Amino acid sequence: MLSPDQVRAAFAKAGVRSQEPTPSKPADIDAPGCASRPGIVYWIPRDGIVARGYPRKTVRLWAASPGNAEPTPAQWEEIAKQCERLQREMIAWQRTNKLKPNKPRPATSLELTYFDDCGAFVEKRSILKGIIARGETSAWVAPPGAGKSALLTEISVHCAAKIDWRGHRAKEACGVVILALERGDLFKRRLRVYHQRDGLQGLPIAVADAVIDLLNPNCVAIIVSTVRDAEQQFGRDVGLIVIDTYAKGIAANGGDEDKARDQNRAAANLRNVHARLEVHIALVGHTGKDETRGARGSNAHLGDVDVMVQIGGDAIKVAEVVKGNDQPERVIAQFKLEAFELGRDEDNDPITTSIVSTEHFADAARGSKSKSKKDDLPAIPKAALRALHECIADGTTSAPADEHVPAGVTGVTLTVWRDRLLKLSIINADGNYREQFKRIHVTLKARGIIGVWEDFVWTVT
């Protein structure tokens, strides 16, 4: 039997504070709400919240087994993580549901996180370190046939199996739900490859082959319910949701991805999913006809996501971060697609699907990229680059002391560069010059010609 003191001591070591036990609730944990009974540790919601409508549920986190009378240190750590996840879910429920109030509260009052409590949100819960983290949204954009869905299939397998992915460390195994708004059977065939080629079995991955209207607020309940069903089947929580394609979800009931209004409505609904599930949401989308301008549709999409990855290239594809809230633009993967034969049909013809090859092409891709990054640069970005070199020659700005800015680089602020472009009439002061300037530096960043961090810009040699 685990004594209340043991429970409190173990959680204190894990950084979780507990309240004094009472006869009716031994070792009731205040944050997160966890309790101990003989041979079992489980999470219970707080009585005050249950009284206001939260489901009265008990989640078993650990139970004694022969030869294992109490959790190991590693199991205590996992119990603490699960408690924190459930506690955040409970808090999110408070924020998004109309409660039966115990006390009158002002209608405009919002849930607050106070200064001393902000430390709990500093460290990300990474699934694949540096690219897939819980609580964030990423966008993966490319022209048709460039391998974006195939790459997300590979990432899904690595998240579910806890396998390092192309230099990114796998931090935890998690369930994955793929919302295939188009070509669901293609996802299933690709997943089958990993079973046949790599011998993987029992991975916690599920595919939902249906169209969801992401502009309808009801989509939040549909997604959450689907994820909960998957978690029951998996026996573990889901950490990654893939939506392929995001545009199909916006257009499902007449929405237009070119309209900021529709982009923002879909983004708001996905934020409500985040409020109820501690997951990463990966959105698959398309670039426009001009790939240098990034994702197709309103740039409200770019503004909402935490990370945007753009994929391009011919035989060897290059996946590159073109926008990151807290990371620099960088190449994250070089890969190529290959055909895999799954079997034969009734006519003895091969059944094939295209997947990401297991080969790595970092050196070849880097060499190809460095030779071609300034080739065929459009006239306006080329003129803007010359103006940037002139600005740096005229007088540099001190580089910020930040790990995202290479040591020793010289550069200027984006404002100084933009003012020079206005002066030279490279961008038009009478038009939407801010959007023009944004297109220029996004194009140059995507080709690896410049680096930008916050308001500081420098050239990459």
- pLDDT per residue over 149-189, tens digit each? 999 999 999 999 999 999 899 999 999 999 999 889 999 99
Is 241 found in the same domain as 204? yes
In angstroms, rounded to a whole number, what is the distance separating the alpha carbons of residues 428 and 12?
Answer: 60
Q: Do residue 291 and residue 439 come from a single domain? A: no
How far, in Å, CA of 29 to CA of 12, rounded? Answer: 10
CATH number for the domain including 329? 3.40.50.300
The DSSP result for 192-247, as a single string, is HHHHHHH---S--EEEEES---TTSTHHHHHHHHHHHHHHHHHTS-EEEEEEE-HH
**Number of domains, the chain:** 3
Residues 347 and 393 in one domain: no
Same domain, 331 and 260: yes
Q: Are residues 451 and 407 in the same domain?
A: yes
Residues 268 and 141 in one domain: yes
Contact between residue 192 and residue 342 where contact means Cβ atoms under 8 Å apart: yes
- Bridge partner list, 397: 411
Residue given tokens 């997300």 in the structure block: 152
pLDDT tens by residue, 189-210: 999 999 999 999 999 999 999 9
Within a domain: residue 115? no
Q: Do residues 182 and 229 share a domain?
A: yes
> What's residue 368's pLDDT?
40
Do 335 and 436 reside in the same domain of the chain?
A: no
Is residue 102 one of the residues assigned to a domain? no
Domain final position from 372, 402, 417? 372
Q: State the DSSP H helix or E strand holding residue 393, giving kind and residue range, or none if neither.
A: helix 379-394
**Does one domain contain both 361 and 408?**
no
Grouped pLDDT means (10 residues each) for the chain, 461 residues: 55 47 37 48 72 73 71 77 78 66 62 78 84 95 91 96 93 96 92 92 95 95 95 94 95 92 95 95 90 82 91 88 85 91 88 88 46 64 87 81 80 90 85 84 83 86 62
pTM of the predicted model, to two decimals? 0.61
- Cα(247)–Cα(256) distance, integer angstroms: 8
**In terms of residue numbers, what domain contains 69?**
4-96
One domain for residues 410 and 449: yes
355 lies in the same domain as 393: no
